[in-house]
Structure 1
Amino acid sequence: MRIVLLSRRGCSACAAARADLARIRDEVGEGFDEVDVDERAGAGDPELRVEYGDRLPVVLLDGVEHSYWAVDDRRLRADLAP
């Protein structure tokens, strides 16, 4: 399974979500990637910012929106369980 955190620079909720995912990563061994939607848009790919930019941070699990505005720890742990 692959976790992606969609975020933007200067977003305090994004920083909290990053810390939550780092804690979960350390506990369950599941890493995550982070994508700055504004940087991606500036590089010519605005789709993520258009789709998710008004509700950041967003956690994607296997390419599907899992949670937004905050990490749903309990649900994410359950979805990552074998």
Structure 2
Amino acid sequence: MDIVITLLGKPGCHLCDDARAVIERVAADTGVRWEERDITQSEEDYRRYWEQIPVTLINGVQHDFWRVDENRLRAAIAELRGR
């Protein structure tokens, strides 16, 4: 199964910087792809997520917001791989 982690954030967001570091580490360790979307570039993303950033999606489904828990992210990836 192809797994993609998406980080939704915006420039100048220190929590987004923290989330990025966790996601980069987990993605490298687990071999999954990750991408980042700037919510200021999409009216829909901005309207939907501006109070929650950073937001983490796994395969397009919201997983976390505000802070990324590394163990929880790893467990979610392991669960998806086990299906």
TM-score, normalization: structure 2? 0.86
Find the aligned partners of 2:11 and 2:44 in 1 and give their Cα distance: 17
1:50 and 2:52 matched: no
Shift of residue 57 of structure 1? 0.2
Shift of residue 17 of structure 1? 0.4
Post-superposition, which runs of at least 4 consecutive aligned residues in structure 1 deviate over 3 A? none
Q: For structure 2, list consecutive stretches of 5 or more residues without a partner in the other structure.
A: none
Find the aligned partners of 2:75 and 2:66 in 1 and give their Cα distance: 19
User: How many residues of Structure 1 are paired with residues of Structure 2 in the alignment?
Assistant: 77
Shift of residue 79 of structure 1? 1.3
Alignment RMSD, CA only? 1.0
TM-score, normalization: structure 1? 0.87
Find 1:60's aligned residue among 49, 52, 57.
57
Shift of residue 39 of structure 1? 2.1
Q: Percent identity at matched positions? A: 38
SS of equivalent to 2:36 = strand
1:29 and 2:26 matched: no
